[in-house]
A and B are shown apart, each in its own frame.
Chain A
């Protein structure tokens, strides 16, 4: 017997192409996101009509060769609006996530490194913040600050920071007990150096994965805020806003809601796929 079966497995079979774990979902997810990024950037040239052009002769038309995604109640071309509509979500979400990452990483590192009462106080405050549903919290803040792109970024970033801080803190606590940190202390390195140079690079993996997961939620949250009228204002084309504007037409002209909603779903799923792949790749 040349090859013996072990627990039902066949003998050696050499695969010609064995990509690293996670690269396939990562690549698909990234490609799916990039399609929309490219569309949003190229929309002024790609879109068949200007997004705000009103055509009273073509109100609420179903999809056709002239209007691929149909038109809304003002006769605006849905295809053009959906192509433009990703712009806001795709700028707000990364910017807000970045802000959340910076804040969260800083809070996580500080609490993990200083421990004792700093950790207690900060983490209890964050627990209190996280007890509120994210959208409610963001709504509250935006009602005080007023709607607008900058405020939406600020608010989503702030709301995400506690979640990211928890992840970073957990990872940093493990690293902080390791001997290379003790070696740094023996050299008399300051807390800032230890946090930034010794700890941060070693929590990069979980930080990136958490960031990608948050990015997906940020798309979703910013679309929700748009839907609630707290993001960009009409007539700017925005997926969330479009769903909100046209929800009354759901029964008579469903395409006006379907296509912007599909845009949101597409991006959220794509980012989720990329996040899964990245996690597999970084933390096998």
Chain B
């Protein structure tokens, strides 16, 4: 066996907080071999980023390595002198962070930034460095490197920026590439391209990869081995095949259950969240850290702290009962009574109807002639990349942004463009849950006052009845009554979103707009929030407008789905039909981009990493024609017609439906090749 490239030996990293030392990473030992890709996954606060920074010895000022060694090529990073460390960081270890925008210097052309690496670390002359930079840009699949090299970072899309950052990282020919959530800030379509790139590069380069991500599916695509972290400890480690086929720690198994499989619907099963939260790192008991949330824990788990133990040939687990780890899927209960708001939908009046709604900001058409109806009790899912106008549409419906053209009607009654000019009843009927848990609640108010005000204004209750209603709301979102007196800073992200949901439900709304309500949350929390939303809907028959970039989540939750592109709806239909061929070429790329557990990726029909035209310079004809691989003449000049595929399923495209269906079914078939890695059996 060759010597390991990177070896973490019993590493503990602590942060100094006021008077105490808190261990963020505890006794982690792991090894990355030359040429290997090691994935580190875990939810927020589990210590994975701290560990990544320790590998470069980039700890924040209050961070300390309190025990252990970080050995890179056999040398201890933490005993090196500053010049030695500098050489290692630039030449041997390179890093790619989450946000490419802040990794690039905005005032220097990107070609020059890549060339600079060649000059400084490889000692190339100016001319040679420029040549080498162009080569490297080509290597990271940037077409027309000559043109791109002369651009400034702000002229590039997020995906292109990240490619440039990767080019800079690779330019020094590092032995180890540390990737800290490199695709998290990108759209799914762009993420798919970047992951493709990593897979291709692995064949070409000999660099090892330490890949840090919260997304199991992403790690699966890139890595050979995986380590799962929980509360600062490594709790499971093994090859991708071992861990994904048969997880041997209850936490890993539960994580799999939190992610809706692409194709699973709310009728099929409930998502299994993980009850409770990550323990307070400053106050840990003697037992297993996962014990309070574990479904198979026993007495010994409460008392004894398990060490990493062998669970397979190269498989380690920090669980006494790892052999009894439930199979993913087995813990997930079937959905309760399958609700069917679809029944008889057609003969009821639509709750919400939009007629040719448009919104401009200056020259930019953010929304263009949107027609949409939502029935009472229905869940309508809206998907699309960032910049497609999803959030603006939500704000127009809610009355936060007045439409420039067209009308919004509730119960067939036209409503005013701004909430303040709507009637009290209309305001009560449409409420919204926002994306950012940190900003959704007024930080200076207690929950009692946040909920009390909503109850008072929306439900018109005062005094004792107001207090009773507030408590009932808090109970509905499964928060303990004692939280009433807390301010939002005492709450976790998931708890804040629960309060935001309770606030939206204060006046028994008819329509709740959910604008990416779970995208800032961990998957285990997301699952429980989605379950809560389903429960609330079952009790109150509220309609949801659910906006998300996560296709699997939208498909799980929605009855009907609309796909938006550049301010237009390009496809709309029942959830079970929208993701079956034929679909719009844009939808096809969206679906292909979803990272999936356990299956091989389909042959990707189109790379969407062509920057979409902005809303200010909308292309004529079909807005998608600039990126569509199948565009032909009429697409460029005339707006495409709506084509009816039956069952209320409509596609806006020039290509005939049978032509779309034939090619797309063929593309899907290639995906169903025997898949070597499968997640355990699922109901």
List residues of chain A with CB under 8 Å of any chain B CB: 2-7, 9, 11-12, 14-16, 18, 178-180, 182-183, 185-190, 198, 201-202, 204
Contact = CB atoms under 8 A, between A and B. Distances in A.
B427 A187 contact: yes
Contacts of B69: 4
Decide if the interface of chain A is mainly helix, strand, loop or mixed.
Answer: loop
Nearest to B57: A6
Nearest to A187: B457
A185 B19 contact: no
7 contacts: A2-B67, A11-B64, A15-B19, A178-B436, A188-B419, A202-B443, A204-B444
Interface residues of B, number: 45
A179 B436 contact: yes
Contact of B79 (A4, A16, A178): A4
Nearest to B426: A188
Main secondary structure of the interface of B (DSSP, over half): mixed
A179 B517 CA distance: 12
Interface in B17-33: 18-21
B427 A5 contact: no
B107 interface: no
Nearest to B17: A18
Nearest to B82: A7
B453 A187 contact: yes
A179 B514 CA distance: 13
Contacts of A6: 57, 59, 63-65, 78
A180 B441 contact: yes
Contacts of B422: 188
Given A11-B66, A18-B18, A178-B436, 7 more contacts: A6-B64, A6-B65, A7-B57, A12-B66, A179-B435, A185-B399, A185-B420
A78 B440 CA distance: 60
A12 B21 contact: yes
A188 B424 contact: yes
B663 interface: no
A12 B521 CA distance: 33
B388 interface: no
B431 interface: yes
Given A180-B439, A186-B399, A202-B442, A12 B432 contact: no
A16 B18 CA distance: 10
A182 B391 CA distance: 13
Contact of B64 (A9, A178, A185): A9
Nearest to A182: B400
Contact of A4 (B78, B419, B436): B78
Contact of B19 (A4, A14, A202): A14
Contacts of B19: 14-16, 18
Residue with the highest number of chain B CB atoms closer than 10 Å, among A3, A16, A18, A185:
A185
A2 B64 CA distance: 12
A11 B390 CA distance: 51
Contacts of B427: 186-188
A182 B420 contact: no
A180 B64 contact: no
Interface in B48-78: 57, 59, 61, 63-67, 69, 78
Contact of B439 (A2, A7, A12, A178): A178
Contacts of B440: 179-180, 183
Contacts of B21: 12, 14
B503 A183 contact: yes
A179 to B, nearest CB: 4
Given A14-B19, A188-B457, A183 B57 contact: no
A15 B64 CA distance: 16
B81 to A, nearest CB: 11
